[in-house]
Structure 1
């Protein structure tokens, strides 16, 4: 039981509880109304497909690019190119041959200078080719 001082009036507690009771009753009334709302669904006949399914598989042509640390050669599918223009020309020919079906994988030694990697990515960006894979080995950290 709550003990009241002589100075505290009993109506003060009742006045403080009235707004909270009003909110609770409004929430209860809202929940009672929302529970009984029927779900509106629409009956539709979905279209059907033929029984045979046609699927096509896109075969990607994998092109491997490699960079070696102490070598100024550019490697494209195990073939080396001593000059950058020759490498770009060979890569351009492959892009024209395979188009969007070409998938680029880069193999690079960890000690290759960053400048060589930047040059390679610059060439790929210039030819509008995206690198799909970077060859990595799982090592200890």
Structure 2
């Protein structure tokens, strides 16, 4: 406890409670509650077709934009032309989409990728497609991406 100098009223010193321990406990509880609070995760909504449904079959698309994802990091292909970083690939993809939209058509995108493509790379592409309002996307599934680019 903390004692204060002699009191003028009664001759005894006044005693105040020591708040240090209480403040430590409150601080620990506050940190615990902040760390365990439920935070809404950011999610990218993806609707997958039912197995065997008509929408799970390849649609006949005239002149689609074919995007290939490779498993060796920041490596992409756009209509068989390879790009080694995201910025140049994104620029080329934006130009291709703009050209198709100027002709009055809706861009159709076909995605193909290696089975070991990183989730980060795939989500980066899905996010870009969503930001540019490209909804008609088909996903091809191959054991390796070289079968799509040949």
Query: Is contact 2:69-2:112 (8 Å) kept?
Result: yes
**Unpaired runs of at least 5, structure 1:** 1-58
Between the two proteins, the alignment pairs up a number of residues equal to 80
1:121-136 matches, cutoff 5 A: 121-136=126-141
Query: Is contact 2:114-2:142 (8 Å) kept?
Result: no
2:63 corresponds to: 61
Shift of 1:118: 0.5
1:1-141 matches, cutoff 5 A: 60-99=62-101, 100-137=105-142
The 4+ residue runs of structure 1 with deviation greater than 3 A are: none
2:40 corresponds to: none
Aligned in 2, Cα 1:137/1:81: closer, same or farther, shift over 3 Å?
closer
TM-score (norm 1): 0.50
2:25 corresponds to: none
RMSD: 2.0
Separation in 2 of the partners of 1:134 and 1:89? 21
TM-score (norm 2): 0.48
Which of structures 1 and 2 has the bigger CA Rg? Answer: 1
Shift of 1:135: 0.5
User: Residues 9-38 of structure 1, C-alpha deviation per residue, up to 9 Å, x if partnerless?
Assistant: xxxxxxxxxxxxxxxxxxxxxxxxxxxxxx
